[in-house]
Amino acid sequence: MSFRPATAADHVEDVSPGSGALPPRAWYPASDAASLSLNGDWRFRLSPTADAEDDSFAEPGYDAGGWAKVSVPGHWVLQGHGAPVYTNHLYPFPVDPPRVPTENPTGDHLRFFDLPDGWDPADGGTVLRFDGVESCARVWLNGTDIGEFKGSRLPHEFAVGHLLKPAGNVLAVRVHQWSAGSYLEDQDQWWLPGIFRDVTLLHRPAGSVLDFFVHASYDHVTGAGTLRVDSDVAGRVTVPELGIDIATGEPATVPVEAWTAETPRLYDGVLATEGERVPLRIGFRTVELADGLIKVNGRPVLFKGVNRHEWHPERGRALDLETMRADVLLMKRHNINAVRTSHYPPHPAFLDLCDEFGLWVIDECDLETHGFTEQAWRDNPVDDDRWTPALLDRAARMVERDKNHPSVVIWSLGNEAGTGRGLTAMSEWIHGRDASRLVHYEGDIDCRDTDVYSRMYADHAEVERIGQGLDGGTHRRRQLPFILCEYGHAMGNGPGGLADYQQIFESYDRLQGGFIWEWIDHGIKDDRYEYAYGGDFGEELHDGNFVCDGLVFPDRRPSPGLVEYKKVIEPVRIEGDGATVRVTNKQDFADLSALDFEWSYQVGGETVESGSLGVPALAAGESAEVKLPEPPVVTGGGETQWTVRALLAADTGWGPRGHVVAWGQVPVSGRQLPSFAASGGPVVSGDGLIALGPAVFDARSGALRSIGSVPVTGLRLDVWRATTDNDDGAAWQSDIRYGALWRKFGLHRMRHRLDAVEAVGDTLTVRTRVAPAAWEFGLVTVYRWTTDGSRLRLTVSVTPDGDWTVPLPRLGVRFGLSAADRVRWFGGGPGEAYPDTRAASVLGRWQSTVDDLQTPYVRPQENGARADVRWAELGGLRIEGDPEFWFTARRWTTEQLDAAAHRTDLTPGDTVWVNLDHGQHGIGSQSCGPGVLPPYRLLAGPVEFSFVFADVG
């Protein structure tokens, strides 16, 4: 006898996209036709399998009084039913397409509603629209099965007018977490089932709009725009501002201002059919592949982009309009000009915001089959004709929904899906449907189906070779422009090396920029951990904090990586030599008329004078030498510099007047170190102590005890840092992963052997050898202490001994202070910086609390260093460095930081631990990408550096 469970849910494992839905069409927010949002509280029941319950719940009269409630849009696993699962590319179920596990969490949803007054279901029709349901749904209205669908981040509409009643309607939706569709949705993100986008009932009066396609091109030679709106239902198109009043299908050519991401000029229009008036927001622009370049309105564009997943720390991918708007405003304020909607079409309202505020968009289809890589891509759905209808359905749902957005300039077939005939079919269909945009897909290395050569995480040297056209490849590929659809992996501290990439992008026409991976950390707000990541919900398979790799923290606070990126991609470059500054407009379209310029003059980091600077409204690409004023007369010497800033001249939709867009600093006179003349010398007293000026040392160990009234503990050489995600690197990276090597070589457990304490002449000398157990290499370290009577000077000499094959994480001294809170310094700030993440570090006077010096990486790791510090004051000590140093202070040790998995593991102790580093190893991007470039590696070599300490308490 054979037994197979009842197959009420056969569609779940069917490769087809579904049945019953209407053909896809353009999405628009609101027209004069009535609509009813069905968002809100829904009744909810969770079952462990797809067929645990029959479908009687969909019948009118079913008593769901005992059911739970969930909010729609939402994910049930974030509302106390089940738990989220994070995997990067592994399928969290056996790979046996299109079969899914028997354990298939299934959420039955019920919504009861009445029609608003005046809505006559008999007049025309009514459409029920789902904007996003993960991953498979069957829908009943008033007991009638109206169809089922897959394609989680795509809209599905059903004609329901014939089933509606004026009152007492019952909408029933059964959602399965796993379906055949899950095989196509293996993006690197949390698996989050649920009705996570809006559900809307749309009245479709007789003669209302069906689908329409706004074609609005721009001729950069004549300055004319041509508008033609093709519409399934004939009507008229009016654009009052342009005097346009034409029939659908008819073109009109008039002078216009073009739409670009820098100048997002939109014209309001209306498409009026007999039964409906649909508002249009029209942007005229022409995208083309010309001279081997992506051109918009005749000019090549440089993408300064970011990959954006939809994320909210409490609501997952159920984003409200305010959150979407926050993303767009943050991007604009950080000079970002492009978004790749990795790896699925976003909520459609996001694209309206991109149109309005100006962002170039690569709109990506909801497709990724990455897990098949584990089986050498065997049985990959994109190379199996049975799946092609599902792939074409996804392509069509994206293109039809989003085709009227001027911001969308490139369609992307999906991400990490290998190669196959299904992708070719998608590309052919898209090219046929919309010849006005380009097609992207990174996995197509030969560019058979695509118009852009695209790669992810290629290192700097390779990108440079591609820029030079020396990368080979197919003949077709050699003719195409290049973008890095992912680079600069923003996981934890970093990414490093962005300025180096930007310099390469700007050196070769073929390189049209890139998109940082990624916008936001997908941390889930959690009482236990502050933010949870993979593994925190007991997942069987997971990829840990690889899901936290964004430029903004889960709460959207900008990380130092975003601040760095903002500086690296600034639209104006300001450089100089002292008497003049060279101002370059690095935009592709706009002139500088939207910006004011301002100079300021700093002495010792403190601004002494400032004023406005006249800069011509340079056209895109132009530059000019602008004379600076006579420097203010200052007495007393000291280090001086100019700072020139470019600010918004007026309020804009995304930033207020005075918002700093770009800046540059020009040194004038260099640093003069205060003189230090050693006087007196160490005095050994009978009680086992050595006095030296203001300081007291332990006579046997040579350990510093205090400076004046300030007790100091544990001062010694330090080479260890709590490894960053980039230090640790991803397992598949080919570069050396230093995090693991450092641990193997014991740099986190260095031993300090005391060789001598010598109190001779004016110097107290402490000789040591610092080395790890088991290894022969070490650092011969000598501390030399002198005083000028009131201050204390420490000179540290380090001489590597033996065969050092790895760079050092850091090199400096660390010590503990018993009380410190406020910190003041003259150096780089306000935020953290490392050798290859220091473009945004502004030289000046800064202050902070110790707590605010910490950067809240979701998984704790090295953070918070300030670069180029001349002097710092904290805990009653003033520390002057020769040369400048990297400054870090925290309320826990490096060892505690290193051991912490979440921020909640860090509890402040009584001691503030201070690191004064002569060197830091760079950061790189090896959590997914290249390691630290050679100039930023901290190689062991003989060095000497010193600090002068004074009790200023």
Question: Would you say 648 or 858 has its CB closer to ligand IPT?
Answer: 858
In 10 A of CB 120, how many CB atoms?
A: 14
Instruction: Specify whether the CB–CB gap between 71 and 519 falls below 8 A.
Output: no
Say whether residue 487 binds ligand IPT (CB under 6 A): no
Active site residue 518: no
User: Mapping DSSP to helix (H, G, I), strand (E, B) and coil, where does residue 833 land?
Assistant: coil
What span, in angstroms and rounded, lies between the C-alpha atoms of 406 and 215?
9
Closest CA to 444 of 383, 487, 519, 395: 383
Tell which phi-psi region holds residue 494, choosing left (phi > 0), alpha (psi between -120 and 50) or beta: left
> Using CB under 6 A, which of 177, 415, 726, 837 touches ligand IPT?
415
Among 343, 372, 727, 363, residue whose Cα is nearest residue 518:
343
Shorter beta-carbon distance to ligand IPT: residue 587 or 925: 925
716: burial class by Cβ within 10 Å (0-12, 13-18, 19+)? middle
Closest C-alpha among 933, 847, 947, 862 to residue 897: 862
> Which residues have a Cβ under 8 Å from the Cβ of 529 and sit 6 or more positions away?
536, 902, 903, 904
Residues 419-478 that bind ligand IPT (CB under 6 A): 456-457
What minimum distance in Å lies between the beta carbon of 863 and ligand IPT? Answer: 20
Least gap, CB of 316 to ligand IPT (angstroms): 17
Select which of 400, 442, 486, 518 is catalytic. 486
Asked if 486 interacts with ligand IPT (CB under 6 A), we say yes
Q: Does 366 bind ligand IPT (CB under 6 A)?
A: no
CB of 743 to ligand IPT, least distance (A): 23
Given a contact cutoff of 8 angstroms between Cβ atoms, the answer to whether 90 and 117 are in contact is: no
Given a contact cutoff of 8 angstroms between Cβ atoms, the answer to whether 706 and 821 are in contact is no
188 binds ligand IPT (CB under 6 A): yes
Which residue number, 308 or 891, has a Cβ lying nearer to ligand IPT? Answer: 308
**Token pair for 536:** 């925190």
Q: Which two tokens stand for residue 738?
A: 């230093």
486 is catalytic: yes
Nearer to ligand IPT, 343 or 784 (CB): 343
Paired sense of beta strands 303-307 and 511-516, if any: parallel
In angstroms, give the least distance from the CB of 308 to ligand IPT.
Answer: 12
- Tokens found for residue 529: 């951990």
Q: Which two tokens stand for residue 15?
A: 């490769």
Contact at 8 Å (CB) between 325 and 353? yes
Q: By CB under 6 A, tell whether 339 contacts ligand IPT.
A: no
Q: What is the DSSP letter of 185?
A: B
Quick one: which H or E segment has residue 324? helix 321-333
Report the C-alpha gap between 352 and 427 in whole angstroms.
25
Confirm if 945 and 796 have CB atoms less than 8 A apart: yes
Catalytic entry in 310, 416, 464, 880: 416
CB nearer to ligand IPT: give 369 or 602. Answer: 369
695 class by beta-carbon count within 10 Å (0-12 exposed, 13-18 middle, 19+ buried): buried
How many residues contact ligand IPT, by CB under 6 A? 13
Closer residue to ligand IPT, CB minimum distance, 407 or 926? 926
CA dist 381 and 425 (Å) reads: 13
Nearer to ligand IPT, 14 or 310 (CB): 310
Nearer residue to ligand IPT within complex by CB, 311 or 947:
311
Interacting residue with ligand IPT among 27, 505, 517, 886 (CB under 6 A): 517
DSSP state of 78: G
- Rounded distance between C-alpha atoms, residue 380 and residue 93, angstroms: 16
The residue (of 456 and 707) whose beta carbon lies closer to ligand IPT is: 456
Query: How far is Cα 142 from Cα 126, in angstroms, rounded to an integer?
Result: 14
Q: Is 549 in the site for ligand IPT (CB under 6 A)?
A: yes
Q: How far is the CB of 486 from ligand IPT (least distance, A)?
A: 6
554 upstream amide cis, omega within 30 of 0: no
Q: Which is nearer to ligand IPT, 456 or 766 (CB)?
A: 456
Q: Which residue is nearest to ligand IPT (CB)?
A: 188
Min dist CB 161 to ligand IPT, Å, is: 41
Interacting residue with ligand IPT among 186, 416, 832, 917 (CB under 6 A): 416
| DSSP assignment string, 871-919 | EEEETTEEEEEEEEEEEEEESS-HHHHHH-SSGGG----S-EEEEEEEE
Residue 355 or 364: which CB sits closer to ligand IPT?
A: 364
- Give the three-state DSSP class for 387: helix
Cα distance between residue 260 and residue 288, in whole Å: 14
- At closest approach, how far in Å is the CB of 490 from ligand IPT? 9
Could you say which of 712, 928, 948, 950 contacts ligand IPT (CB under 6 A)?
928
Angle in degrees, CA 465, 471, 476, rounded to 5: 135
**Residues ≥6 apart with Cβ < 8 Å to 325:** 353
In angstroms, give the least distance from the CB of 253 to ligand IPT: 41
HEC assignment per residue over 649-698:
CCCCCCCCCCCEEEEEEEEEECCCCCCCCCCCCCEECCCCEEEECCEEEE
Please identify, using beta-carbon distances, which residue of 545 and 915 lies nearer to ligand IPT.
545
At 340, list the tokens: 């790749």
Which positions ≥6 away from 224 have C-beta within 8 Å? 218, 253, 254, 255, 256
Cα(928)–Cα(457) distance, rounded to whole angstroms?
A: 7
Q: Which helix (H) or strand (E) holds 242?
A: none
The single residue listed with the structure tokens 């079969």 is 99
Nearer to ligand IPT, 415 or 946 (CB): 415
Q: Which of 253, 252, 230 is nearest to 433 (CA)?
A: 230
Q: Does 88 bind ligand IPT (CB under 6 A)?
A: yes
Give min distance, CB of 347 to ligand IPT, in A: 19
What residues from 834 to 893 belong to the interface with ligand IPT (CB under 6 A)? none
Residues making contact with ligand IPT (CB under 6 A): 88, 188, 343, 415-416, 456-457, 486, 489, 517, 546, 549, 928
Known catalytic residues are 416, 486
